[in-house]
Amino acid sequence: MSESSEYNKSGVSSQGAETALSGLLKHVLPTRKFTDRYPLAADIGYFANVIDLGNGEGIAFGTDGVGTKVIVAELLGRYDTIGIDCVAMNVNDVICVGARPVSMVDYIACSHTDPEVFDQLGRGLAEGARQSNISISGGEISQIKEIISGIDLIGACIGHVSLDKVNTGQDIKPGNLIIGLASTGVHSNGLTLARKVLLGDSLEEQKTRVNDYEEFLGQTLGEALLEPTRIYVQPVMEMLDAEIDLKAMVHITSGGFCNLNRVAADNIRFVIDTLQPVPEIFNIIQDRGGVSEAEMFEVFNMGTGFCLVVEGTKEVEAITEICKEHDLPCQVIGQVEASQGKEVSLPTKQLTGKGSKFTSA
């Protein structure tokens, strides 16, 4: 994504984030040597990591937050769903390593402690936990008015996985099929760009427009942006319990389909040639913001919130049946090909993704 992209203009620098991460990792990566008794089972950079507890057992561990989606909640004065988003962003990452989510803790940084707001936050967290079959085992409220205005919501999740079941996509090979599971909309990535395009640059303008009814959406702009992130835990756990051979599980978050490049297998190309139906919210963002195809597929999930890589049609049929039971739209969206290096190809859009960036062919 170039520094002249719409996302960068909205205040989010992808290049800056990568530079910051490099500076952080040069200090963090060597800490793996500090705990020889509990080694890590995967490299840093996947959706979650796994701590080897011995005796073939591991704990998966990950953390994430809801980003600036909390601003939409503040604009609407409605906080009862962003807890679902917080749980979703964590558990959807943890299942990618083949782990069953077990419990989560939350961290709320705030400039106030309005009881009604916190009651609503709790309701959302509880609903997310119910959908994920996990507990909320603790948390922290940090009143830091000097640093933050409003609220920030972050979580950390653990899960259980046998070490021989840890999945980082290491067994993917050419000929495998890619199944896309539908998203519910924007989820919890790209909200800074979406707000600026749909609601305006300033918070005052956004307050005015957040309740505007959008005929193409059949709801207000704020309601569309606040739609909770879909939680994929129950259907994916059913697939694993049924011993369906899932070669990889990939959460489609920031970076879009480029998240497929995070799997461990080398010299493969993920060819996405049949897209899930793209929710209208994305078409509106692209049209009104003048956002390029490459940037849309870099920033947003574009209708596909999770991907599964499988051997063939036998697995597709079994997965389709489970998804039907959960009212979860799914379809084969592509296949894996041999390649030099690793990349994602969207031939219908003439886009190629390497690392976390798409470029036009």
Which domains are delineated in the chain? 35-165 (3.30.1330.10), 177-360 (3.90.650.10)
Which residues have a Cβ under 8 Å from the Cβ of 77 and sit 6 or more positions away? none
Which residues have a Cβ under 8 Å from the Cβ of 62 and sit 6 or more positions away? 47, 48, 49, 90, 93, 94, 156, 157
Which residues have a Cβ under 8 Å from the Cβ of 145 and sit 6 or more positions away? 111, 112
Tokens representing 260? 């497929």
Q: How many whole angstroms separate alpha carbon 69 and alpha carbon 298?
A: 18
Q: CB count, 10 Å around CB of 174?
A: 13
Reduce the DSSP state of residue 47 to 3 states and report it. Answer: coil
Angle at CA 327, nearest 5°, toward 322 and 331? 65
pTM above 0.85, yes or no: yes
Angle at CA 21, nearest 5°, toward 20 and 24? 90
Q: How many whole angstroms separate alpha carbon 161 and alpha carbon 303?
A: 29
> What is the structure's pLDDT at 278?
95
Q: How many whole angstroms separate alpha carbon 306 and alpha carbon 93?
A: 10
Reduce the DSSP state of residue 51 to 3 states and report it. Answer: strand
Provide the angle, in degrees to the nearest 10, between the axes of the packed helices 233-241 and 115-132: 20
CB 256 within 8 A of CB 358: yes
Q: How many whole angstroms separate alpha carbon 105 and alpha carbon 232?
A: 19
> What is the structure's pLDDT at 41?
87
Which amino acid does the sequence have at 300? F
CB 115 within 8 A of CB 82: no
Q: CB count, 10 Å around CB of 338?
A: 10
Secondary structure E strands in 215-354: 219-220, 246-251, 268-272, 304-310, 330-338, 342-346, 351-354
Tokens 């530079």: give the residue: 19
Nearest CA among 30, 99, 92 for reference residue 58? 99
Which residues have a Cβ under 8 Å from the Cβ of 246 and sit 6 or more positions away? 98, 167, 236, 239, 240, 308, 309, 310, 315
Which residues have a Cβ under 8 Å from the Cβ of 225 and sit 6 or more positions away? 69, 72, 185, 186, 191, 194, 195, 198, 281
Dihedral sign, CA of 217, 219, 225, 227?
A: negative
Q: What are phi and psi of 61, to 5 degrees?
A: -145, 130
> What is the structure's pLDDT at 75?
96
pLDDT under 50: residue ranges of the chain: none
